[in-house]
Structure 1
Amino acid sequence: MKKALVLGASGGMGYALIQELLERGIDVIAFARSKHKLQALYGEQKGVKIYSGDIFNQNDLLSAAEHVDTIFQSANLPYEQWEEKLLPFFEKIIHVAEATEAKLVLVENIYAYGKSPGSKVAEETPKNPHTKKGKVRLQVEKRIKASNVLALFAHLPDFYGPNAENTLLHFTLENVIQHKSALYVGHKKIAREFIYTPDGAKALVNLALHKQAFGQNWNIPGYNVITGEEILRIVYNINGYKKPVFTVNKGMIRLVGLFDPTMREVVEMFYLNEDPVVLDGTKYEREIGPLPRTSYPDGIKQTLEHMLAHK
């Protein structure tokens, strides 16, 4: 890999991917809508070319993808747009990848797996999505596999890390750094899985550098499962945070959803907070190598430090 395009470069995983690619000496095109945010993130970094454009504009995508050999797709849309716009968006990405003959690395979530089978899910676990969003993600996967694009699909749990702002843990930590009362989504005693974005990025780039990884699905799990109570104890040990942390339950989200279209769609995915899906990373470790795994204390500490530095 000599030159890569990262879609969704202003987001948490996009940011981590660009840092990882640069560290390996790979030139990067950072693509997102906001030129101001791209300049704030990458304006001083060598090896990055900023490209602000519309992910729905095929000409913008084609122009950004000129002379790249790998496209990392980490852009996302608001939940309320998935049903109507997600597949058409991926049709544009497919066209661009076919036109440029670039390989495609898909940063995927766990929605297509559906409800937890009661054990860790492996790549061969049947995908039986029961939600609208899970079904559309599976539809996208099937469409890409039916195309002429050389692609790999990497499933990851919920993110946290530097610049990962549109995430559940950021929702909690943004008040923690201000020593204000905070909110935690889901029951604080239920253990679930999160991945530190630099770990996810390292694993994604590792996969992209292995030719045999393409044409396959891969699971990239986090460090392990952790409860909300354990997360808050880690935060306390880092900065002495002692303010109350209130639980956000499904009923509260449903109520907010009466006025907020995004939160209305969040209700459907709340099952992941009640019966979490946990990924099995055996295949990756068998065929690629050890999974990058930053401990929660270290990852949360570095996330808080980044948030404070960019507050």
Structure 2
Amino acid sequence: MSKVALFGAAGVIGHSIAAALGAKGRPYRVVGRSESSLRKAFATDPLAEVVTWNPESPASVRTAAEGVDTLVYMVGVNYWQFELHPELMRKTLEGAVAAGVKHLILIGTVYPYGRAQSNPVREDHPREPHTFKGRMRKAQEDLLMQAHADGRIRATVLRLPDFYGPGVEASLLHRAALAAVNGGTADMVGPLNRPHEFVFVPDVGPVVARLVDTPAAFGRIWHLAGAGAITQRELVAEMERQTGHKLQLRVAGKTMLRLIGLFNPFMREMVEMNYLMTEPLIMDDSALQQLIGPIRKTPYAEGVRQMLAAIPRARTLCATAV
């Protein structure tokens, strides 16, 4: 059976895909910068092979990709260094092709579309990014799909909306979940009352595992939508319902993000992407469902329950009489 390599496996999407491959009894390779982090996460799975790499070196990519049939690419960069995305893809393609990799799946985002011209958004929606991050992600996709057109490798992109789930600290909902479990104030990015979409991370892995074995998936771009349009305020209300208490919220809009960004580079970089909070972009994944069949979509109430259950509870220090 051909081997799958997960490049950038240490993140939550990598864990989801690894779990899906492991459930099918399929050997896989996890590739990342830190051996200790990879071994901590995957050492207990006998199906996992741990390999380190330097993503800036095509020679290192080639070594990490030797003996691999399908490469799943999830390599992240700092939010303020998106100019690295096209260059890292170029080097990965060079090394992967040299190693004889046949297929490459890029886990992508909605950034290349820019503002939605209609909703829901299908894969044939124009890619007209008006942000720097959108242009860098588009350039990354273009490099990959051009390599496919040139016959160098068979490629596809699976685009995801914002995500959430147990242990997903980068989610827009994580601070609210922390406050729901342990009290305090939830810092959120607003507005909270606009339709948005979230994909539950554990739902992603099984879809990618099916794409790996679907030859017709390669050569075009696909969407994996969430469980439907919802607002952040509705999700906060669900957290309140499940925990039985009201959350205190501190909501940052675009102006507040600019102010916080004077001291925080991550928040500064969120300013240009705030349009995704004010102007809904809801994905249509009917094409993907026609390709691979029905897709399991965890309902938001169940996703919230699992997310809250994974939050460590703060220890309460109690004075004990002696």
Question: Per the shorter chain, which TM-score range?
Answer: over 0.9
The aligned residue for residue 100 of structure 1 is 99
Please provide the CA RMSD for this pair.
1.9
Residue 260 in 1 paired to residue 264 in 2? yes
The aligned residue for residue 318 of structure 2 is none
Aligned pairs for 1:237-276 within 5 A:
237-276=241-280
Between 1:129-138 and 1:168-177, the stretch displaced more is 168-177
Counterpart of 2:132, as a letter, is K
Aligned pairs for 1:14-33 within 5 A:
14-33=14-33
The aligned residue for residue 288 of structure 2 is 284
Between 1:114-123 and 1:44-53, the stretch displaced more is 44-53
Counterpart of 1:199, as a letter, is D
8 Å CA contact 1:238–1:301 kept in 2: the answer is yes
Q: Distance in 1 between matches of 2:19 and 2:218?
A: 22
Instruction: Provide closer, same or farther for how the CA distance between residues 23 and 258 of structure 1 changes in structure 2, counting only shifts above 3 A.
Output: same
Give the alignment's TM-score, normalised by structure 2: 0.90
The aligned residue for residue 319 of structure 2 is none
C-alpha displacement of 1:124: 1.0
**Secondary structure of residue in 2 paired with 1:152:** strand
Aligned pairs for 1:117-136 within 5 A:
117-136=117-136
8 Å CA contact 1:195–1:223 kept in 2: the answer is yes
Q: Distance in 2 between matches of 1:60 and 1:178?
A: 43
8 Å CA contact 1:11–1:163 kept in 2: the answer is no
The aligned residue for residue 72 of structure 1 is 72
The aligned residue for residue 63 of structure 2 is 63
Instruction: Provide closer, same or farther for how the CA distance between residues 33 and 87 of structure 1 changes in structure 2, counting only shifts above 3 A.
Output: same
Residue 219 in 1 paired to residue 223 in 2? yes
Structure 2 unaligned segments of length 5 or more: list them: 316-322
**Secondary structure of residue in 1 paired with 2:80:** helix
8 Å CA contact 1:179–1:241 kept in 2: the answer is no
C-alpha displacement of 1:31: 1.7
Give the alignment's TM-score, normalised by structure 1: 0.93
Q: Distance in 2 between matches of 1:128 and 1:271?
A: 14
8 Å CA contact 1:200–1:292 kept in 2: the answer is no
Q: Distance in 2 between matches of 1:163 and 1:57?
A: 31
Q: Distance in 1 between matches of 2:310 and 2:5?
A: 24
Deviations for 1:121-151, whole angstroms, at most 9, x for unmatched residues?
A: 1111111111111111111211112221211
**Secondary structure of residue in 1 paired with 2:173:** helix
The aligned residue for residue 198 of structure 1 is 202
**Secondary structure of residue in 2 paired with 1:183:** strand
Counterpart of 1:195, as a letter, is V
C-alpha displacement of 1:6: 0.8
C-alpha displacement of 1:310: 12
**Secondary structure of residue in 2 paired with 1:268:** coil
**Secondary structure of residue in 1 paired with 2:211:** helix
Instruction: Provide closer, same or farther for how the CA distance between residues 205 and 239 of structure 1 changes in structure 2, counting only shifts above 3 A.
Output: same
Deviations for 1:236-274, whole angstroms, at most 9, x for unmatched residues?
A: 232224231221211111111112222221111010000
Instruction: Provide closer, same or farther for how the CA distance between residues 207 and 263 of structure 1 changes in structure 2, counting only shifts above 3 A.
Output: same
Q: Distance in 2 between matches of 1:21 and 1:308?
A: 27
